Chains A and B, each alone.
Chain A
Amino acid sequence: MSATRRIHWMKYASASNFYPLANRLVPLFMGLAIALAVIGLYIGFFVAPVDYQQGNSYRIMFLHVPAAWMSMFIYLLLAMYAIISLVWRVKMADIMAYSLAPTGAMFTFIALLTGALWGRPTWGTYWIWDARLTSELLLLFLYLGYMGLYSAIPDRQRASRAASFLAIVGVVNVPIIYFSVVWWNTLHQGSSFSVSEGASMTSDMLSALLLMAFACWAYTIAVVLRRAQAVILERKKVALWASQISKNKEA
Chain B
Amino acid sequence: MGIAEFLHMGGHGFYIWGSYGTALFLVIVEVFFVSKRRKKAKEELEQMEAEFSRVDNQGING
Contact = CB atoms under 8 A, between A and B. Distances in A.
A63 B20 contact: yes
B38 A60 contact: no
A219 interface: yes
Contact of A240 (B11, B31, B52): B52
Interface of A: 30, 50, 55-57, 59-60, 63-64, 67, 102-103, 106, 109-110, 113-114, 117-118, 120-121, 219, 223, 226-227, 229-231, 233-234, 236-237, 240-241, 244, 247-248, 251
Given A233-B41, A237-B41, A244-B52, A55 B10 contact: yes
Nearest to B27: A219
Interface of B: 9-12, 14-16, 18-20, 22-23, 26-27, 30-31, 34-35, 37-38, 40-42, 44-45, 48-49, 52, 55-56, 59-60
18 contacts: A55-B9, A56-B10, A57-B15, A59-B9, A63-B19, A67-B23, A109-B26, A114-B19, A114-B22, A117-B15, A121-B11, A121-B15, A223-B30, A227-B38, A234-B41, A237-B44, A244-B52, A244-B55
Contacts of A110: 22-23, 26
A180 to B, nearest CB: 22
Contacts of B38: 226-227, 229-230, 233
A231 B49 CA distance: 17
B36 to A, nearest CB: 9
Contact of B49 (A219, A226, A240): A240
Contacts of A229: 38
Contact of A226 (B23, B34, B52): B34
A244 B9 CA distance: 62
Nearest to A243: B52
A126 to B, nearest CB: 10
